Amino acid sequence: MQNQKWLILLLLVFVFFLFFYKVGDRNLWAPDETEYAQVSREMVEFNHWIFPTVNNKPYAIKPVLYNWLMASVSLPFGDVNDFRARLISSLAALATVLVIFYLGTIMFSMRAGFLASFVLATNLLFLQFARWVQINMLSTLFFTITLFLFYRGYTAPEKRSRSYLLMYITIGLGMLNMGPVDVIMPALVIGLYLLFMKDIKHLRELKLGWGILIFLMITVPWYLAVSLKGEYAFDILIRTNFIRYFDTWTHERPFYYYLINLPADFLPWSVFLPGAFYLAFSPRSKGERKKLLFLLIWAISLFLFFSFSQCKRPQYILPLYPALSLLVAYFLDLPENLVFNCSLDRYPFRPVWRSHFYSSQAEEPRFHLLPASSSYACFHTVRGSFRNSQNRSLQVPQNLLSEH
């Protein structure tokens, strides 16, 4: 427990530098950042908390929770600035990293949890949107907590009741943040997992009755209120979700879009994905097959779900990045894949350097990849992103409105 506290403290310090350092130094970029900031600014200035507006015109593209949070942290100061606009995304990214640390610790080991949180915090796309005004990071947090609570409840019967009830709170908050997709994603992953586990009867254990009640208590008040104005209800619930999925009018991309973009967006850790997936399916991981199945269903089902959508943007698949990070961490946690074997069972942590450039054992394939090289590349990428953000910053007009 003492070592876990030290690891969490180390994570907090490291993530603070990545997600919060000079996060408000560059101006908001159009159209996304300026649009979200303007919605929250009008909440603060004109009290448009129920019916969001941009330039006093109805804003019916996304639900309201992200803007509520941004406006709430800005309310004591009377206005939304660059730092407060991005603060919610940075906090959501930090919380997601911590959740993955705990999930990795529960599933595999404390070291695997630490590796997973490090991989998640330092890949390019996650790092970018941890410093960006967008609702996708907050959606990723709610979805990750939902699956964490499900897994804890499914594997620990003594914690099942409380975990499942809390799970519906995060689903409801996701509905207020992103819309129906934040209900579809956990339902898809959990449903497929129970199906592959041949445990459909476990649906009776999910407390669906109480869960629906909790979900409705969170979501119905605001959705009912906006339904009284036709221009809000149809656009938020139907047009920007279901219609856009099957017949988009913006950001149309081919089916293979994410297959091409994900390896670049998950750098520098994407170089480990082939080995991680091979290991997950190999006989060597037979003892961890149920745990890995959960992660594989999480990653693959979401990848296919968003690939079938006509509308595609890189940040839409952020919710599968925690699963990829856990798979990579499991792969790197193998003794022969670590540049050093760091013992976490006592303080201080004592690294024991090893050489694993070759192996005399040939009975199984070995994955001799060096995570140090990825760490080195990642830190240089992060440093370059901070520099580039200063050079590319620009002032944009506040009246730009786009469809996300």
pLDDT digits (tens, 9 = 90+) for 166-221: 999 999 999 999 989 999 999 999 999 999 999 999 999 999 999 999 999 999 99
CB 270 within 8 A of CB 264: yes
Structural domain of residue 174, as residue ranges? 2-348+359-392
Is 397's pLDDT higher than 70?
no
Does residue 55 form part of some domain? yes
Rounded Cα gap, residues 183 and 191, in angstroms? 12
Is the dihedral angle over the CA atoms 198, 204, 206, 209 positive or is it negative?
Answer: positive
Does residue 353 form part of some domain? no
Q: What is the pLDDT of residue 61?
A: 82
pLDDT digits (tens, 9 = 90+) for 301-357: 999 999 998 888 889 999 999 999 999 999 998 765 554 445 444 433 444 333 333
Q: What is the pLDDT of residue 381?
A: 39
Q: What is the pLDDT of residue 336?
A: 59
Does residue 403 form part of some domain? no
Does residue 289 form part of some domain? yes
121 pLDDT band (50/70/90 cuts)? very high
How many domains does the chain divide into? 1
Does residue 354 form part of some domain? no
Rounded Cα gap, residues 225 and 60, in angstroms? 13
Q: What mean pLDDT comes out for the span 56-66? A: 87
Rounded Cα gap, residues 71 and 75, in angstroms? 6
E strand segments, 3-72: 53-54, 57-58
351: phi then psi, degrees, rounded to nearest 5: -75, 130
Rounded Cα gap, residues 111 and 345, in angstroms? 10
Half-sphere exposure of 45 (CA within 13 A, CB side): 12
356: phi then psi, degrees, rounded to nearest 5: -130, 35
Does residue 77 form part of some domain? yes
Is 288's pLDDT higher than 60?
yes
What are the Cα distances from residue 281, in Å, to 202, 209, 337, 362, 394? 25, 36, 17, 19, 47
Q: What is the pLDDT of residue 347?
A: 39
Q: What is the pLDDT of residue 371?
A: 40
Does residue 260 form part of some domain? yes
pLDDT digits (tens, 9 = 90+) for 220-245: 999 988 888 766 767 776 767 666 66
Does residue 402 form part of some domain? no
Average pLDDT, the chain: 82
Q: What is the pLDDT of residue 246?
A: 66
Q: What is the pLDDT of residue 403?
A: 44
The region of weakest confidence among 111-120, 140-149, 388-397 is 388-397
375 pLDDT band (50/70/90 cuts)? very low
What are the Cα distances from residue 15, in Å, to 19, 120, 121, 130, 134? 6, 11, 7, 10, 19
Please count the other Cβ atoms lying within 10 Å of the Cβ belonging to residue 132.
21
